[in-house]
Amino acid sequence: MSAQPQIIVVPAPALRTPPPAYSDIAKPANDLLNKDFFHLSTAAVEVKTVTPNGVAFTAKGKTLKDESIAANIEAKFSDKASGFTLTQGWNNANVLDTKLELAELLAPGLKGELITSVIPNGARNAKLNLFFKQSNVHGRAFFDLIKPKALADISVGQEGFTVGGELGYDIASAKVDRYSLGVAYSKFDYTVSAIAFNNLSVFSAAYYHKVSPLVEAGAKATWDSVKQGTPNVEFAAKYKLDKSAFVKAKFADSGVAAVSYSQALRPGVTLGLGSSFNALKLAEPVHKLGASLTFTA
């Protein structure tokens, strides 16, 4: 009797996620420390809608420190088949912003975008940006076509480690005017990072830990070697009350504390409330209250 042929099934290799961009090496900690604190604006409102043919509209406004109002309306159209995206914005400072994006430009993983900003009878700006992603490399290049200046960064990832750097070049004066380095390690539910920026004169270290499905915690310390002062330290925590609400708190060694609360009132409607106060200046008018309202349809 002839032997039966054996069929060997080889599992497909797991797809690797590209490492984060260099500016996002410490993103989990930075988001925990900075996002959702609505006291940064006295009041803010945002409305998002999407038409049946896929055009996304965003209208938002907020009050500024000088009690003026900044408002913006934006329309975004994407063609997934070609990878083309057009975004057009207009704000109450009469600035027209246009962004053209094209994915898979010339090579797999390469994306290009052209951003222009025009004030009628006023200033004009134009920038060309390139993004490249592969399984363990994430590179970006930003070119200011008016100045002219260039900024490039790259991050390389392997088994949880990410190492990256940034370099700025002034084309007019033909010299390097900016550089920084960073490293991070991510594993399951925590991330630690260390970055040296401002031409390796300012150092920061941060960590983020998802303690449980309900609790997140993080901290960041920053030290300026030029000023030779003590490190600035911030702590933050987030507690998920349920599927529709969470609270966040942040404390800094400068004495400033902030608390925010986010509640989904109904599908598509989210309310945010926040406050901050300075424990070292309780008798002074430096404390803030704020609110935001977001509509999505």
Looking at residue 8, its pLDDT comes to 59
Report the percentage of the chain scoring pLDDT > 90: 65
Whether the pLDDT of residue 13 is over 60: the answer is: no
**Cβ neighbours for 84, distance < 8 A, ≥ 6 positions apart:** 78, 100, 101, 102, 103
The 3 state secondary structure assigned to 89-153 is EEECCCCEEEEEEECCCCCCCEEEEEEEEECCCCCEEEEEEEEEECCCEEEEEEEECCCCEEEEE
Report residue 12's pLDDT band, with 50, 70 and 90 as the boundaries.
very low
Question: Does residue 272 surpass a pLDDT of 70?
Answer: yes
Mean pLDDT of 124-131: 95
Name the DSSP letter for residue 282.
Answer: T
Q: What is the DSSP string of 237-263?
A: EEEEEETTEEEEEEEETTSEEEEEEEE
pLDDT at 145 over 50: yes
Residue 64 is given by DSSP the state -
The CA distance from 239 to 256, in Å, is: 20
Q: Residue range 116-137: average pLDDT?
A: 92
Helix (H, G, I), strand (E, B) or coil at 293: strand
Average of pLDDT values for 19-37? Answer: 92
H or E stretch at 158: strand 149-158
Of residues 150 and 1, more confidently modeled: 150
Phi-psi label, residue 31: left if phi above 0, alpha if psi -120 to 50, beta otherwise: alpha
pLDDT at 40: 59
Q: In this predicted model, what pLDDT tens digit does every residue of 202-249 receive, in sequence order?
A: 999 999 999 999 999 999 999 999 988 889 999 999 999 999 999 999
pLDDT tens profile 191-204? 999 999 999 999 99
Mean pLDDT estimate for the chain? 89
pLDDT grade for 117, boundaries at 50, 70 and 90 = very high
**Residue showing tokens 């109002």:** 69
What are residue 210's DSSP bridge partners?
Answer: 216
- State residue 3's pLDDT score: 53
Global pTM reads 0.81
In words, the CATH class of domain 22-296 is mainly beta
Averaged over 175-193, what is the pLDDT? 94
